[in-house]
């Protein structure tokens, strides 16, 4: 039962957690949402400074709450890739310094592997292999998981991630940042079928369309044109722009696309279990749609607990636990890689630091 102190600083959430055998002993997050909201998105320099300010207190908090001493830890972990380079460095340098100070193994963790492992913080999973829909602000991917550390990407977004599309449409509608919760709140009273919006498809060179890949940039443009049209009608004496209906229609088509293509991929792959993780996995409409479709197809499904959908350090600790049990350990000289793909995550555990 390894006990791990983990740090997460890949973007705009400073987080620390102590986890033992996939059980969270303590977890703390310092959000920067209010500060970045005034800019309509994350400002990397601000994020890095806030991580420096927040991380020491978060580490002290989770160590005190967990009742664990540094001597009791089996390893210290931090997100090493991908993310904002300055933000990643804050967590990595802090984690490596603590590991050297307390003579503990250090593990640099891939952020997406952390999200894949977040589902283990909830109900026990049926045996694999299974299909994961990872849907967040920066990533929308379908990943086949055959076992710890064994991943195969089967689909991805060719442009905007779903969470990024939520942010951009929310800004367009004047709903604020972050876009996911803002649109969900506005859409609650709207008609999700009032405005037919396009389900973006990805063309294949030989003709036809990719069966699983996503594209959300066209949807974003369609919403822009719709809003401009509705504003023109309002200025000509028509009714006010129905923001709730526009938000609900957008939210519904995103949910429909994610559910349809993910369940189709699972069936085609012969996988009977579907897992959803990432910040957008907290969306109620998406969860309800996936639950209903999986029930109709007799697929088992799981989602990361709501508390661990967005960026957190507990998921990083679980990923580190799995790597540690498999004999993995990172070089104390390991730096960070802001664009490292998930398929290259094993390089984080090479004896000689690859970067």
pLDDT averages per 10-residue partition of the chain, 355 residues: 96 97 97 83 92 98 98 98 97 98 98 96 86 95 94 96 95 93 97 97 93 96 97 96 98 98 98 96 97 97 95 98 97 97 96 94
CB atoms closer than 10 angstroms to residue 70: 14
Specify the 3-state DSSP secondary structure of 233.
helix
Distance between the two ends of the chain, CA-based, in angstroms? 30
Radius of gyration of the chain (CA): 21
pLDDT number for residue 125: 83
Task: Map out the domains of the chain with their CATH numbers.
Answer: 3-116+309-349 (3.30.420.40), 127-303 (3.30.420.40)
pLDDT number for residue 73: 98
pLDDT number for residue 267: 97
pLDDT number for residue 15: 98
Tokens for 123? 């109900």
CA 266 to chain centre: 20
Q: Can you spell out the DSSP letters for 154-202?
A: EEEBSSS-HHHHHHHHHHHTT--SSHHHHHHHHHTTS-TTSS-------
pLDDT number for residue 36: 84
Measured between alpha carbons, how far is 4 from 68 in angstroms, rounded to an integer? 10
pLDDT number for residue 39: 81
Task: Give the single-character DSSP code of 203.
Answer: B
pLDDT number for residue 143: 98
Torsion angle in degrees (nearest 10) through CA of 210, 211, 214, 215: 50
pLDDT number for residue 41: 82
pLDDT tens sequence across 304-323: 999 999 999 999 999 999 99
pLDDT number for residue 144: 97
> How far from 41 is each of 63, 92, 109, 166, 171, CA to CA, in Å?
31, 23, 25, 12, 10
pLDDT tens sequence across 318-334: 999 999 999 999 999 99
pLDDT number for residue 355: 94
pLDDT tens sequence across 54-93: 999 999 999 999 999 999 999 999 999 999 999 999 999 9
pLDDT number for residue 82: 97
């Amino acid at each position: 039962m390894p006990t791990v102190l983990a740090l997460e600083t890949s973007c705009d959430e400073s987080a620390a957690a102590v986890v033992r055998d996939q059980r969270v002993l303590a977890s703390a997050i310092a959000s920067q949402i209010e500060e970045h909201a005034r800019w309509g998105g994350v400002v990397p320099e601000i994020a890095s400074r806030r991580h420096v300010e927040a991380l020491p207190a978060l580490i002290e908090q989770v160590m005190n709450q967990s009742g664990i001493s540094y001597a009791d830890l089996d390893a210290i972990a931090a997100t090493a890739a991908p993310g904002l380079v300055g933000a990643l460095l804050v967590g990595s340098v802090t984690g490596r310094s603590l590991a050297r100070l307390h003579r503990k193994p250090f593990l640099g963790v891939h952020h997406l592997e952390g999200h894949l492992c977040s589902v283990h913080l909830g109900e026990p999973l049926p045996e694999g292999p299974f299909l994961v829909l990872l849907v967040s602000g920066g990533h929308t991917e379908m990943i086949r998981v055959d076992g710890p550390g064994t991943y195969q990407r089967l689909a991805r977004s060719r442009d905007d991630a779903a969470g990024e599309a939520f942010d951009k449409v929310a800004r367009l509608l004047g709903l604020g940042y972050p876009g996911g919760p803002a649109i969900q709140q506005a859409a609650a009273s709207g008609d999700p079928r009032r405005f037919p919006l396009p389900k973006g498809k990805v063309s294949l060179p030989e003709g036809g369309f990719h069966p699983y890949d996503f594209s959300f940039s066209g949807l974003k443009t369609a919403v822009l044109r719709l809003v401009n049209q509705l504003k023109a009608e309002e200025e000509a004496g028509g009714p006010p722009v129905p923001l709730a209906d526009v938000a609900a229609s957008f939210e519904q088509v995103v949910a429909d696309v994610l559910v349809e293509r993910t369940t189709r991929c699972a069936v085609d792959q012969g996988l009977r279990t579907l897992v959803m993780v990432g910040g957008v996995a907290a969306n109620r409409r998406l969860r309800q749609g996936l639950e209903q479709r999986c029930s109709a197809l007799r697929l088992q499904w799981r989602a990361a607990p709501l508390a661990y959908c967005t960026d957190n350090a507990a998921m990083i600790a679980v990923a580190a636990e799995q790597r540690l049990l498999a004999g993995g350990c990172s070089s104390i000289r390991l730096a960070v890689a802001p664009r490292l793909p998930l398929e290259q995550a094993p390089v984080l555990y090479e004896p000689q630091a690859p970067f």
